[in-house]
């Protein structure tokens, strides 16, 4: 009788494999529970850095970019018509108020002025003669009053003639610098025609666009610190002169500050400047790092850690002192907020703290 040894060997091999698998499973089950828990934690918990919400000193202050403007920016217009005969101003030249910039042909105006003076002199003599006659009763009151009105009319004509003659000399209306001259000798000017521009930079207006959230913190006369990249490290001092009552389309309000233009480091019209509005009072408020915010400053949210689990919390924020954010509602002092690793989190995620700001 022949025995099939090949079948017996195959059966023995399968039995050995099953036994080996059973032993491996039994050994795995005997591994310490803590090791398996650490393995699962490594897979499911997100490493984060955190910081506590804590009390800190807050001063109502913020900074925005502004643009400098001249104290006075004047377009100079001609008030007469004629040919320009002389020019006594150049671009960049400083002129005092009342100095002549251009001279227009004055021949006709001078002739009219002489005629007006003669007519006024004749009217004055006629009036004085009738006044003496009226006192003696030689002429009627009506004739006397007619001569009086004629004198007043002649005096008015004289004033107008004097003004027309003065207008032939176009003068600087303010003390300042000529920034442009649009006509030259031989040009024909007409009333209302722009002939030059001047700026007065003895003082400077700093115009800033302030977000509506910060506008209630401002008031006229409030101190302003001004800096510019042109003079690094130098702080200039100004004061708010006006706050617009109407916002622009981007919900900002124009705030104008006035400062004396320093002679050693002069500002020019159109220069960029950074304006820092500094409040006068200090208060203690709840602060968190700005980097803890998940959303934008318009819709601020943070992840708060509680027993290894994070929860997304909506905030109401206030001032932004430096790199911190003032929290008005949503957190309590001591709450732990996530400052790094938020992109991997969702509401209810498990975390492991790898670093705490300000400590280990």
Strand partners, 50: 338, 356
pLDDT of residue 93: 94
Residue of 312, 322, 315, 313 lying closest to 346 (CA atoms) = 312
Token pair of 4 as six digits: 């099939």
**pLDDT of 106-158, one tens digit each?**
999 999 999 999 999 999 999 999 999 988 888 889 999 999 999 999 999 99
Domains and CATH numbers, the chain: 46-57+284-356 (2.40.420.20), 63-70+200-283 (2.40.30.170), 106-167 (1.10.287.470)
CA 152 to chain centre: 55
- Check the CA dihedral 230-235-241-246 and report its sign: positive
Distance CA 293, CA 317 (A): 11
* Cα–Cα distances in angstroms (integers) from residue 218 to residues 139, 210, 214, 253, 255, in the given order: 73, 10, 7, 11, 9
Q: Look at the block and give the residue holding tokens 């591994």.
A: 31
Residue numbers of the chain with a pLDDT score lower than 70: 1-12, 15-17, 19-20, 22-43, 60, 279-281, 358-360
Token pair of 62 as six digits: 């913020």
* Cα–Cα distances in angstroms (integers) from residue 16 to residues 251, 280, 283, in the given order: 80, 86, 79
Distance CA 351, CA 305 (A): 8
pLDDT of residue 12: 65
Distance CA 44, CA 306 (A): 17
The DSSP annotation for 139-194 comes to S-HHHHHHHHHHHHHHHHHHHHHHHHHHTTEEE-SSSEEEEEE---TT-EE-TT-E
Q: What is residue 244's three-state secondary structure?
A: coil
pTM of the full structure: 0.60
Please state whether beta strands 351-356 and 46-52 pair in parallel, antiparallel, or not at all (unpaired): parallel
Token pair of 322 as six digits: 């430096």
pLDDT of residue 249: 87
Residue of 69, 20, 81 lying closest to 226 (CA atoms) = 69
* Cα–Cα distances in angstroms (integers) from residue 108 to residues 112, 116, 359, in the given order: 6, 12, 89
Helix axes 141-166, 107-136, angle to 10 degrees: 160
Distance CA 42, CA 207 (A): 55
**For the chain, how far is it from start to end, CA to CA, in angstroms?**
82
92-104 CB burial, b ≥16 within 10 A, e <16: eeebeeeeebbbb
């Amino acid at each position: 009788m022949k025995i099939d040894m090949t079948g017996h060997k195959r059966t023995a091999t399968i039995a050995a494999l099953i036994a080996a698998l059973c032993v491996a499973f039994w050994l795995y089950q005997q591994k310490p529970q803590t090791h398996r828990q650490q393995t699962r934690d490594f897979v499911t918990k997100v490493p984060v850095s955190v910081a506590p919400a804590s009390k800190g000193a807050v001063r109502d202050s913020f900074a925005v970019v502004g643009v400098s403007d001249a104290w006075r920016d004047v377009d100079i217009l001609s008030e007469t018509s004629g040919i320009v005969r002389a020019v006594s101003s150049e671009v960049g030249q400083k002129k005092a108020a009342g100095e002549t910039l251009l001279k227009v042909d004055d021949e006709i105006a001078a002739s009219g002025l002489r005629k007006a003076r003669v007519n006024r002199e004749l009217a004055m003599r006629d009036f004085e003669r009738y006044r003496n006659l009226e006192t003696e009763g030689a002429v009627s009151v009506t004739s006397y009053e007619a001569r009086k009105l004629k004198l007043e009319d002649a005096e008015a004509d004289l004033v107008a003639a004097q003004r027309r003659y003065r207008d032939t000399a176009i003068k600087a209306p303010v003390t300042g610098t000529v920034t442009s001259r649009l006509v030259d000798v031989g040009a024909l000017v007409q009333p209302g025609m722009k002939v030059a521009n001047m700026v007065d930079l003895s003082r400077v207006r700093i115009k800033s666009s302030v977000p509506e959230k910060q506008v209630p913190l401002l008031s006229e006369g409030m101190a302003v610190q001004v800096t510019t990249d042109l003079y690094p490290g130098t702080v200039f001092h100004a004061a708010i002169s006006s706050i617009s009552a109407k916002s622009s389309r981007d919900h900002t309000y124009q705030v104008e500050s006035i400062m004396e233009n320093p002679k050693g480091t002069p500002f020019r019209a159109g220069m960029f400047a950074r304006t820092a509005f500094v409040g006068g009072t200090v208060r203690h408020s709840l602060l968190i790092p700005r980097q803890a915010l998940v959303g934008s400053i318009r819709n601020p949210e943070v992840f708060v850690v509680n027993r290894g689990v994070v929860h997304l919390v909506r905030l109401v924020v206030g001032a932004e002192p430096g790199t911190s954010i003032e929290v008005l509602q949503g957190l309590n002092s001591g709450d732990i907020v996530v400052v790094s690793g938020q992109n991997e989190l969702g509401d209810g995620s498990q975390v492991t703290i790898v670093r705490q700001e300000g400590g280990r």
